[in-house]
Structure 1
Amino acid sequence: MFFTKVISLRDRNDLLGELLNKLKSNHEYPVSIFLSLGIRKFLRELKILDLDACILLPSYSKNRIFNSDLRPFSPSSRLYEETKRILRIPLIDPLTKTSRERQAGKSFSDRFFHAYSAWDIHPNWKDRCPSKILLLDDVFTTGASVNEASRILKKNGTKSVYVLTYLRISD
Protein backbone atom coordinates (compact mmCIF):
# COMPACT_ATOMS: atom_id res chain seq x y z
CA MET A 1 0.00 0.00 0.00
CA PHE A 2 1.24 3.46 -0.85
CA PHE A 3 -0.74 5.48 1.69
CA THR A 4 0.57 5.92 5.22
CA LYS A 5 -2.65 5.68 7.23
CA VAL A 6 -6.43 5.72 6.75
CA ILE A 7 -8.67 7.50 9.22
CA SER A 8 -12.41 7.06 8.84
CA LEU A 9 -14.89 8.89 10.99
CA ARG A 10 -17.02 5.76 11.27
CA ASP A 11 -17.59 2.28 9.89
CA ARG A 12 -20.23 2.03 7.19
CA ASN A 13 -23.55 0.42 8.02
CA ASP A 14 -26.74 0.31 5.95
CA LEU A 15 -28.09 3.59 7.31
CA LEU A 16 -24.81 5.47 6.85
CA GLY A 17 -24.38 3.98 3.38
CA GLU A 18 -27.85 5.19 2.46
CA LEU A 19 -27.06 8.66 3.81
CA LEU A 20 -23.82 8.80 1.80
CA ASN A 21 -25.74 7.86 -1.34
CA LYS A 22 -28.20 10.71 -0.64
CA LEU A 23 -25.28 13.08 -0.29
CA LYS A 24 -23.80 11.95 -3.59
CA SER A 25 -26.93 11.54 -5.69
CA ASN A 26 -29.42 14.03 -4.22
CA HIS A 27 -26.92 16.81 -3.47
CA GLU A 28 -28.06 16.94 0.16
CA TYR A 29 -25.32 19.04 1.73
CA PRO A 30 -26.80 18.82 5.28
CA VAL A 31 -26.05 15.07 5.15
CA SER A 32 -22.34 15.91 4.90
CA ILE A 33 -22.64 17.91 8.12
CA PHE A 34 -24.10 14.86 9.86
CA LEU A 35 -21.49 12.50 8.38
CA SER A 36 -18.66 14.77 9.50
CA LEU A 37 -19.72 14.86 13.16
CA GLY A 38 -16.68 14.10 15.29
CA ILE A 39 -14.17 15.25 12.67
CA ARG A 40 -12.68 17.96 14.89
CA LYS A 41 -11.28 15.39 17.32
CA PHE A 42 -9.54 13.49 14.49
CA LEU A 43 -8.18 16.68 12.93
CA ARG A 44 -6.77 17.93 16.24
CA GLU A 45 -4.89 14.63 16.52
CA LEU A 46 -3.52 15.14 12.99
CA LYS A 47 -2.03 18.53 13.92
CA ILE A 48 1.13 16.84 15.19
CA LEU A 49 1.83 15.51 11.68
CA ASP A 50 2.48 19.03 10.37
CA LEU A 51 0.78 18.29 7.05
CA ASP A 52 1.66 20.44 4.03
CA ALA A 53 -1.50 20.28 1.94
CA CYS A 54 -4.87 18.67 1.40
CA ILE A 55 -6.38 17.06 -1.71
CA LEU A 56 -9.96 16.13 -2.56
CA LEU A 57 -9.71 12.92 -4.58
CA PRO A 58 -11.11 13.81 -8.02
CA SER A 59 -14.33 11.98 -8.83
CA TYR A 60 -14.72 13.16 -12.39
CA SER A 61 -12.48 13.74 -15.38
CA LYS A 62 -12.11 17.13 -17.12
CA ASN A 63 -9.35 18.34 -14.76
CA ARG A 64 -11.80 19.44 -12.07
CA ILE A 65 -12.25 18.38 -8.48
CA PHE A 66 -15.88 17.65 -9.35
CA ASN A 67 -18.26 18.18 -12.23
CA SER A 68 -20.64 20.94 -11.16
CA ASP A 69 -23.12 19.90 -13.85
CA LEU A 70 -23.56 16.56 -12.07
CA ARG A 71 -22.99 17.67 -8.48
CA PRO A 72 -23.21 21.20 -7.10
CA PHE A 73 -20.44 20.38 -4.59
CA SER A 74 -17.91 17.66 -3.93
CA PRO A 75 -19.23 15.09 -1.43
CA SER A 76 -15.95 15.49 0.49
CA SER A 77 -16.05 19.29 0.57
CA ARG A 78 -17.32 19.33 4.16
CA LEU A 79 -14.25 17.31 5.19
CA TYR A 80 -12.08 20.01 3.65
CA GLU A 81 -13.99 22.88 5.26
CA GLU A 82 -13.20 21.48 8.70
CA THR A 83 -9.64 20.55 7.68
CA LYS A 84 -8.96 24.09 6.48
CA ARG A 85 -10.38 25.59 9.67
CA ILE A 86 -8.48 23.35 12.08
CA LEU A 87 -5.25 22.40 10.28
CA ARG A 88 -4.94 25.58 8.19
CA ILE A 89 -3.44 23.78 5.21
CA PRO A 90 -4.07 24.67 1.57
CA LEU A 91 -6.20 22.69 -0.83
CA ILE A 92 -4.18 21.67 -3.87
CA ASP A 93 -5.28 19.92 -7.06
CA PRO A 94 -2.35 17.89 -8.44
CA LEU A 95 -4.39 14.88 -9.58
CA THR A 96 -6.41 14.61 -12.75
CA LYS A 97 -9.06 11.95 -13.24
CA THR A 98 -8.40 10.41 -16.64
CA SER A 99 -11.08 7.73 -16.63
CA ARG A 100 -14.76 8.46 -17.11
CA GLU A 101 -15.64 5.18 -15.38
CA ARG A 102 -16.65 5.00 -11.75
CA GLN A 103 -15.33 2.56 -9.16
CA ALA A 104 -18.82 1.83 -7.82
CA GLY A 105 -20.20 -1.52 -8.90
CA LYS A 106 -16.81 -3.02 -9.79
CA SER A 107 -15.50 -6.19 -8.16
CA PHE A 108 -12.64 -6.02 -5.67
CA SER A 109 -9.95 -6.87 -8.24
CA ASP A 110 -11.55 -4.76 -11.00
CA ARG A 111 -11.36 -1.72 -8.72
CA PHE A 112 -7.58 -2.08 -8.50
CA PHE A 113 -7.16 -2.66 -12.24
CA HIS A 114 -9.34 0.34 -13.04
CA ALA A 115 -7.70 2.60 -10.45
CA TYR A 116 -4.26 1.96 -11.91
CA SER A 117 -5.11 4.06 -14.96
CA ALA A 118 -7.88 6.28 -13.55
CA TRP A 119 -5.72 9.22 -12.37
CA ASP A 120 -2.63 11.07 -13.46
CA ILE A 121 -0.51 13.94 -12.18
CA HIS A 122 -1.27 17.39 -13.52
CA PRO A 123 1.81 18.60 -15.50
CA ASN A 124 2.33 21.59 -13.16
CA TRP A 125 2.78 19.20 -10.23
CA LYS A 126 5.12 16.67 -11.85
CA ASP A 127 7.97 16.03 -9.36
CA ARG A 128 6.73 18.95 -7.22
CA CYS A 129 4.19 17.49 -4.78
CA PRO A 130 4.39 18.47 -1.08
CA SER A 131 6.00 16.07 1.36
CA LYS A 132 3.01 15.32 3.65
CA ILE A 133 -0.51 15.26 2.21
CA LEU A 134 -3.97 14.66 3.62
CA LEU A 135 -6.13 13.00 0.95
CA LEU A 136 -9.88 13.38 1.45
CA ASP A 137 -12.45 11.00 0.01
CA ASP A 138 -16.01 10.11 0.92
CA VAL A 139 -15.69 6.37 1.52
CA PHE A 140 -12.90 3.79 1.87
CA THR A 141 -14.16 0.59 0.27
CA THR A 142 -11.21 -1.46 -1.03
CA GLY A 143 -8.56 1.26 -0.87
CA ALA A 144 -7.90 0.99 -4.62
CA SER A 145 -8.58 4.67 -5.37
CA VAL A 146 -6.60 6.17 -2.50
CA ASN A 147 -3.81 3.66 -3.03
CA GLU A 148 -3.39 4.65 -6.67
CA ALA A 149 -3.63 8.36 -5.88
CA SER A 150 -0.98 7.86 -3.19
CA ARG A 151 1.28 5.99 -5.62
CA ILE A 152 1.12 8.87 -8.09
CA LEU A 153 1.74 11.47 -5.38
CA LYS A 154 4.73 9.54 -4.03
CA LYS A 155 6.14 9.16 -7.51
CA ASN A 156 6.05 12.97 -7.69
CA GLY A 157 7.70 13.91 -4.40
CA THR A 158 5.26 13.13 -1.60
CA LYS A 159 6.70 11.16 1.32
CA SER A 160 3.50 10.49 3.34
CA VAL A 161 -0.17 10.33 2.40
CA TYR A 162 -2.77 10.28 5.14
CA VAL A 163 -6.34 9.50 4.10
CA LEU A 164 -9.47 10.86 5.79
CA THR A 165 -12.95 9.56 4.88
CA TYR A 166 -16.48 9.79 6.26
CA LEU A 167 -16.98 6.03 6.13
CA ARG A 168 -15.01 2.82 5.88
CA ILE A 169 -16.36 -0.52 4.75
CA SER A 170 -15.39 -2.87 7.57
CA ASP A 171 -14.45 -6.47 6.93
Structure 2
Amino acid sequence: MALCPIANRDLTSSPAFVGKKRPIHHIKITGFVKTHGAFRIFCWRWLDTFGGDVLKKGAVVSSVFTYIADLLFPLSCKMCGISIRMGETPGLCESCWSTIQFLDGPCCPRCGKPFASEAALSYSPNHQCGDCREKPPYYDRAISVAHYDKALAEAIHLFKYSKKTQWSRPLGRLLLKRVSDLGKFDVILAVPLHPKRLRQREFNQSLLLAREVSLETGLPLQVDNLCRVRWTQPQIELNGEERRKNVRRAFEVKRPDQVEDRCVVLIDDVFTTGATVNECARILKRAGAKSVAVLTLARMV
Protein backbone atom coordinates (compact mmCIF):
# COMPACT_ATOMS: atom_id res chain seq x y z
CA MET A 1 0.00 0.00 0.00
CA ALA A 2 1.47 3.34 -1.03
CA LEU A 3 1.57 5.94 1.69
CA CYS A 4 0.22 9.36 0.83
CA PRO A 5 0.36 11.69 3.87
CA ILE A 6 -1.57 14.44 2.13
CA ALA A 7 -4.38 12.26 0.82
CA ASN A 8 -7.74 13.26 2.20
CA ARG A 9 -8.84 9.68 2.81
CA ASP A 10 -9.46 7.48 5.81
CA LEU A 11 -8.04 4.16 4.67
CA THR A 12 -9.12 2.46 7.89
CA SER A 13 -12.74 2.58 6.78
CA SER A 14 -12.04 0.09 4.02
CA PRO A 15 -13.38 -3.44 4.62
CA ALA A 16 -10.05 -4.67 3.26
CA PHE A 17 -8.46 -3.95 6.61
CA VAL A 18 -11.00 -5.89 8.70
CA GLY A 19 -9.18 -8.70 10.48
CA LYS A 20 -5.90 -7.76 8.80
CA LYS A 21 -2.65 -6.53 10.28
CA ARG A 22 -2.91 -2.90 11.30
CA PRO A 23 -1.76 -0.67 8.43
CA ILE A 24 0.89 1.97 8.97
CA HIS A 25 -1.48 4.67 7.74
CA HIS A 26 -4.08 3.98 10.44
CA ILE A 27 -5.19 7.60 10.80
CA LYS A 28 -6.76 10.19 8.63
CA ILE A 29 -4.23 12.83 7.55
CA THR A 30 -5.55 15.89 5.75
CA GLY A 31 -2.20 17.46 4.89
CA PHE A 32 0.87 18.78 6.67
CA VAL A 33 -0.10 22.33 5.76
CA LYS A 34 -3.22 21.98 7.88
CA THR A 35 -1.79 20.45 11.04
CA HIS A 36 1.53 19.10 12.26
CA GLY A 37 -0.25 16.94 14.82
CA ALA A 38 -1.12 14.38 12.15
CA PHE A 39 2.57 13.95 11.33
CA ARG A 40 3.42 13.35 14.98
CA ILE A 41 0.72 10.73 15.27
CA PHE A 42 1.92 9.14 12.03
CA CYS A 43 5.42 8.91 13.50
CA TRP A 44 4.03 7.50 16.73
CA ARG A 45 2.09 4.85 14.84
CA TRP A 46 5.16 3.99 12.74
CA LEU A 47 7.20 3.41 15.86
CA ASP A 48 4.40 1.39 17.41
CA THR A 49 4.24 -0.84 14.34
CA PHE A 50 7.91 -1.22 13.47
CA GLY A 51 9.62 -0.06 16.64
CA GLY A 52 10.22 -3.59 17.92
CA ASP A 53 12.99 -4.33 15.43
CA VAL A 54 14.44 -0.87 15.84
CA LEU A 55 14.55 -1.07 19.62
CA LYS A 56 16.40 -4.38 19.44
CA LYS A 57 19.26 -2.44 17.86
CA GLY A 58 19.18 0.27 20.48
CA ALA A 59 16.63 2.30 22.43
CA VAL A 60 18.61 5.44 21.64
CA VAL A 61 17.04 5.52 18.15
CA SER A 62 13.57 5.84 19.64
CA SER A 63 14.72 8.47 22.13
CA VAL A 64 16.30 10.62 19.43
CA PHE A 65 13.25 10.25 17.21
CA THR A 66 10.93 11.32 20.03
CA TYR A 67 13.16 14.26 20.99
CA ILE A 68 13.22 15.61 17.43
CA ALA A 69 9.45 15.27 17.06
CA ASP A 70 8.84 17.03 20.40
CA LEU A 71 11.21 19.82 19.40
CA LEU A 72 9.84 20.42 15.90
CA PHE A 73 6.18 19.62 16.46
CA PRO A 74 5.18 20.50 20.05
CA LEU A 75 1.67 19.60 21.23
CA SER A 76 -0.30 20.69 24.26
CA CYS A 77 -2.99 19.02 26.36
CA LYS A 78 -6.50 19.97 25.22
CA MET A 79 -7.64 20.28 28.84
CA CYS A 80 -4.83 21.83 30.90
CA GLY A 81 -2.53 23.18 28.18
CA ILE A 82 0.74 21.62 29.33
CA SER A 83 3.18 20.21 26.77
CA ILE A 84 2.71 16.61 25.73
CA ARG A 85 5.48 14.24 24.73
CA MET A 86 4.91 12.08 21.67
CA GLY A 87 4.75 8.89 23.70
CA GLU A 88 1.75 10.09 25.72
CA THR A 89 -1.90 9.60 24.84
CA PRO A 90 -2.61 11.95 21.88
CA GLY A 91 -4.61 15.04 22.83
CA LEU A 92 -4.45 14.79 26.64
CA CYS A 93 -1.62 14.57 29.12
CA GLU A 94 -1.26 11.53 31.36
CA SER A 95 -2.45 13.54 34.36
CA CYS A 96 -5.76 14.52 32.71
CA TRP A 97 -6.15 11.06 31.21
CA SER A 98 -5.88 9.58 34.71
CA THR A 99 -8.96 11.55 35.86
CA ILE A 100 -11.28 9.15 34.00
CA GLN A 101 -13.89 7.85 36.45
CA PHE A 102 -14.32 4.17 35.72
CA LEU A 103 -17.66 2.50 36.35
CA ASP A 104 -16.41 -0.29 38.58
CA GLY A 105 -19.04 -0.07 41.34
CA PRO A 106 -22.31 -1.98 41.74
CA CYS A 107 -24.61 -1.64 38.77
CA CYS A 108 -27.63 -3.22 37.12
CA PRO A 109 -26.49 -6.46 35.44
CA ARG A 110 -28.88 -5.78 32.53
CA CYS A 111 -28.51 -2.12 31.53
CA GLY A 112 -25.37 -1.18 33.47
CA LYS A 113 -27.01 1.64 35.41
CA PRO A 114 -24.95 2.35 38.56
CA PHE A 115 -26.65 1.54 41.86
CA ALA A 116 -26.47 3.98 44.75
CA SER A 117 -24.94 1.30 46.97
CA GLU A 118 -24.11 -2.40 47.07
CA ALA A 119 -27.27 -2.94 49.13
CA ALA A 120 -29.18 -3.25 45.85
CA LEU A 121 -27.29 -6.46 45.11
CA SER A 122 -27.96 -7.92 48.55
CA TYR A 123 -31.20 -9.41 47.20
CA SER A 124 -29.42 -11.26 44.40
CA PRO A 125 -26.28 -10.80 42.26
CA ASN A 126 -28.66 -10.59 39.30
CA HIS A 127 -30.91 -7.96 40.87
CA GLN A 128 -32.01 -5.56 38.12
CA CYS A 129 -32.96 -1.91 38.33
CA GLY A 130 -36.59 -0.83 38.34
CA ASP A 131 -36.54 0.24 34.69
CA CYS A 132 -35.29 -3.16 33.50
CA ARG A 133 -37.78 -5.03 35.66
CA GLU A 134 -40.65 -2.88 34.40
CA LYS A 135 -39.66 -2.95 30.74
CA PRO A 136 -36.76 -5.33 29.93
CA PRO A 137 -34.55 -4.08 27.09
CA TYR A 138 -33.96 -6.20 24.00
CA TYR A 139 -30.22 -6.45 24.68
CA ASP A 140 -29.07 -8.99 27.25
CA ARG A 141 -26.42 -6.88 28.89
CA ALA A 142 -24.91 -3.40 28.61
CA ILE A 143 -21.53 -2.37 29.97
CA SER A 144 -19.92 1.08 29.90
CA VAL A 145 -16.29 1.70 30.75
CA ALA A 146 -16.58 5.04 32.54
CA HIS A 147 -18.67 8.10 33.32
CA TYR A 148 -19.10 10.59 30.50
CA ASP A 149 -17.15 13.23 32.36
CA LYS A 150 -14.01 15.35 32.19
CA ALA A 151 -11.18 13.76 30.21
CA LEU A 152 -13.22 11.02 28.57
CA ALA A 153 -15.91 13.46 27.45
CA GLU A 154 -13.23 15.71 25.95
CA ALA A 155 -11.57 12.77 24.21
CA ILE A 156 -14.84 11.53 22.72
CA HIS A 157 -15.76 15.04 21.59
CA LEU A 158 -12.40 15.45 19.84
CA PHE A 159 -12.77 12.00 18.33
CA LYS A 160 -16.26 12.55 16.91
CA TYR A 161 -16.49 16.21 16.04
CA SER A 162 -12.89 17.33 15.44
CA LYS A 163 -12.03 14.33 13.25
CA LYS A 164 -9.29 13.18 15.62
CA THR A 165 -9.40 9.61 14.35
CA GLN A 166 -6.08 8.86 16.04
CA TRP A 167 -8.14 8.62 19.24
CA SER A 168 -9.58 5.31 18.04
CA ARG A 169 -6.65 3.37 19.43
CA PRO A 170 -6.44 4.67 23.03
CA LEU A 171 -10.23 4.71 23.31
CA GLY A 172 -10.42 1.24 21.83
CA ARG A 173 -7.97 0.04 24.46
CA LEU A 174 -10.31 1.37 27.12
CA LEU A 175 -13.07 -0.80 25.69
CA LEU A 176 -10.81 -3.82 25.95
CA LYS A 177 -10.74 -3.37 29.72
CA ARG A 178 -14.36 -4.55 29.86
CA VAL A 179 -14.56 -7.02 26.98
CA SER A 180 -13.90 -9.99 29.26
CA ASP A 181 -16.91 -8.99 31.39
CA LEU A 182 -19.23 -9.72 28.48
CA GLY A 183 -18.48 -13.42 28.43
CA LYS A 184 -18.20 -15.46 25.23
CA PHE A 185 -19.33 -13.91 21.97
CA ASP A 186 -18.96 -14.69 18.28
CA VAL A 187 -19.09 -11.50 16.27
CA ILE A 188 -18.66 -7.73 16.65
CA LEU A 189 -20.88 -5.04 15.16
CA ALA A 190 -20.92 -1.26 15.46
CA VAL A 191 -23.90 1.06 15.68
CA PRO A 192 -24.13 2.37 12.10
CA LEU A 193 -24.52 5.91 10.80
CA HIS A 194 -26.94 6.91 8.09
CA PRO A 195 -25.09 7.30 4.75
CA LYS A 196 -25.86 11.03 4.73
CA ARG A 197 -24.35 11.54 8.19
CA LEU A 198 -21.40 9.34 7.28
CA ARG A 199 -20.67 11.61 4.33
CA GLN A 200 -20.85 14.64 6.63
CA ARG A 201 -18.59 13.19 9.34
CA GLU A 202 -16.43 11.15 6.93
CA PHE A 203 -16.09 8.25 9.37
CA ASN A 204 -18.11 6.20 11.84
CA GLN A 205 -16.52 6.55 15.27
CA SER A 206 -18.25 3.42 16.56
CA LEU A 207 -16.86 1.38 13.67
CA LEU A 208 -13.32 2.59 14.38
CA LEU A 209 -13.72 1.56 18.02
CA ALA A 210 -15.14 -1.80 16.99
CA ARG A 211 -12.21 -2.35 14.65
CA GLU A 212 -9.78 -1.85 17.53
CA VAL A 213 -11.60 -4.49 19.58
CA SER A 214 -11.65 -6.85 16.59
CA LEU A 215 -7.94 -6.41 15.93
CA GLU A 216 -7.04 -7.14 19.53
CA THR A 217 -9.43 -10.05 20.12
CA GLY A 218 -9.21 -11.63 16.68
CA LEU A 219 -13.00 -11.86 16.49
CA PRO A 220 -14.72 -11.02 13.19
CA LEU A 221 -16.13 -7.55 12.64
CA GLN A 222 -19.16 -7.24 10.39
CA VAL A 223 -18.69 -3.84 8.83
CA ASP A 224 -21.94 -3.23 6.96
CA ASN A 225 -24.35 -5.98 7.98
CA LEU A 226 -26.23 -3.77 10.43
CA CYS A 227 -27.19 -0.59 8.60
CA ARG A 228 -29.27 2.52 9.21
CA VAL A 229 -31.98 2.70 6.58
CA ARG A 230 -33.84 5.79 7.74
CA TRP A 231 -32.58 9.30 8.42
CA THR A 232 -33.13 10.31 12.05
CA GLN A 233 -32.93 13.56 13.96
CA PRO A 234 -29.78 13.88 16.14
CA GLN A 235 -30.54 12.16 19.44
CA ILE A 236 -28.78 14.83 21.49
CA GLU A 237 -31.74 17.17 20.89
CA LEU A 238 -34.37 14.75 22.22
CA ASN A 239 -35.63 13.39 25.54
CA GLY A 240 -35.96 9.69 26.37
CA GLU A 241 -39.34 8.96 24.79
CA GLU A 242 -38.55 11.08 21.74
CA ARG A 243 -35.30 9.17 21.29
CA ARG A 244 -37.12 5.84 21.26
CA LYS A 245 -39.62 7.05 18.65
CA ASN A 246 -36.85 8.67 16.62
CA VAL A 247 -34.90 5.43 16.07
CA ARG A 248 -37.88 3.11 15.68
CA ARG A 249 -37.44 1.03 12.50
CA ALA A 250 -34.31 2.98 11.59
CA PHE A 251 -32.07 -0.11 11.33
CA GLU A 252 -31.90 -3.24 9.24
CA VAL A 253 -29.81 -6.42 9.06
CA LYS A 254 -28.73 -7.08 5.47
CA ARG A 255 -27.55 -10.67 5.95
CA PRO A 256 -29.49 -12.34 8.79
CA ASP A 257 -27.65 -15.64 8.31
CA GLN A 258 -24.45 -13.97 9.57
CA VAL A 259 -25.95 -13.22 13.00
CA GLU A 260 -28.34 -16.16 13.32
CA ASP A 261 -27.68 -18.22 16.49
CA ARG A 262 -24.64 -16.06 17.29
CA CYS A 263 -23.70 -14.05 20.35
CA VAL A 264 -23.25 -10.47 19.19
CA VAL A 265 -21.34 -7.60 20.77
CA LEU A 266 -22.67 -4.21 19.70
CA ILE A 267 -20.25 -1.29 20.14
CA ASP A 268 -21.06 2.41 20.46
CA ASP A 269 -19.33 5.43 21.96
CA VAL A 270 -21.83 6.80 24.52
CA PHE A 271 -24.80 5.22 26.33
CA THR A 272 -27.35 7.93 27.15
CA THR A 273 -30.86 6.49 27.39
CA GLY A 274 -30.01 3.29 25.54
CA ALA A 275 -32.67 3.92 22.90
CA THR A 276 -30.34 3.49 19.92
CA VAL A 277 -28.60 0.30 21.07
CA ASN A 278 -31.91 -1.15 22.23
CA GLU A 279 -33.47 -0.67 18.80
CA CYS A 280 -30.37 -2.21 17.19
CA ALA A 281 -30.67 -5.16 19.58
CA ARG A 282 -34.34 -5.57 18.68
CA ILE A 283 -33.50 -5.80 15.00
CA LEU A 284 -30.60 -8.18 15.63
CA LYS A 285 -32.78 -10.45 17.77
CA ARG A 286 -35.46 -10.42 15.08
CA ALA A 287 -32.77 -11.47 12.58
CA GLY A 288 -31.97 -14.48 14.76
CA ALA A 289 -29.14 -13.35 17.03
CA LYS A 290 -28.82 -15.62 20.05
CA SER A 291 -27.83 -12.77 22.37
CA VAL A 292 -26.79 -9.12 22.14
CA ALA A 293 -24.36 -7.48 24.55
CA VAL A 294 -23.72 -3.74 24.36
CA LEU A 295 -20.28 -2.25 25.03
CA THR A 296 -19.83 1.54 25.20
CA LEU A 297 -17.02 3.85 26.23
CA ALA A 298 -19.03 6.17 28.43
CA ARG A 299 -22.38 6.39 30.14
CA MET A 300 -24.47 9.44 30.89
CA VAL A 301 -25.40 8.79 34.52
How would you bin the TM-score normalised by the shorter chain? 0.7 to 0.9
Q: How does 1:77-96 map to 2 (within 5 A)?
A: 77-92=207-222, 93-96=224-227
Within 1, Cα distance between the matches of 2:174 and 2:190? 19
Aligned with residue 206 of structure 2, among 76, 84, 105: 76
**What secondary structure, in the 3-state scheme, does the structure 2 residue paired with 1:145 have?**
helix
Q: Does 1:138 align with 2:269?
A: yes
Asked if the contact 1:43/1:87 (under 8 Å) is kept, the reply is no
CA contact (8 A) 2:192 2:206 kept: no
Counterpart in the other structure of 1:54: 188
Matched residue SS, 1:3: coil
- Shift of the alpha carbon at 1:30? 2.9
Contact 1:138–1:166 (Cα < 8 Å) also in 2:
yes
Please list every run of at least 4 consecutive aligned residues from structure 1 whose deviation after the TM superposition is greater than 6 angstroms.
none
Matched, 1:17 2:153: yes
Matches of 1:20 and 1:165, distance apart in 2 = 11
Report the secondary structure of 2:194's partner residue: coil
Query: Scaled by the length of structure 1, what TM-score is found?
Result: 0.82
Which structure is higher in helix share? 2
Give the whole-Å Cα distance in 2 for the aligned partners of 1:15 and 1:81: 22
Q: Mind listing any 5+ residue stretches in structure 2 that lack a counterpart?
A: 1-136
Aligned counterpart for 2:282 among listed residues 151, 154, 166: 151
Q: Secondary structure at the match of 1:38?
A: helix
Contact 1:137–1:166 (Cα < 8 Å) also in 2: yes
Q: Specify the alignment match of 1:168 in structure 2.
A: 299
TM-score, normalization: structure 2? 0.49
Sequence identity percentage: 30
Unpaired runs of 5+ residues, structure 1, are: none
Deviations 1:10-40 (A, max 9, x none): 1111543343222111111233334344333
> Which has the larger strand fraction?
1
Pairs aligned (count): 162
Aligned counterparts of 1:81 and 1:95: Cα–Cα separation in 2: 15
CA contact (8 A) 1:11 1:167 kept: yes
RMSD (Å), alpha carbons:
2.2
Residue 249 (structure 2) aligned to one of 114, 117, 127? 117
* C-alpha distance 87-45 of structure 1, shift in aligned 2 (>3 A): farther
Once the two structures are TM-superposed, the CA of residue 144 in structure 1 deviates from its matched residue by 0.4
Q: Which has the higher contact order (CA 8 A, sep 6+)?
A: 1
Contact 1:128 1:156 in 2 (8 A): no
Secondary structure of 1:158's aligned partner? coil
Match of 1:41 in 2: 177
Aligned partners of 2:173 and 2:213 also within 8 Å: no
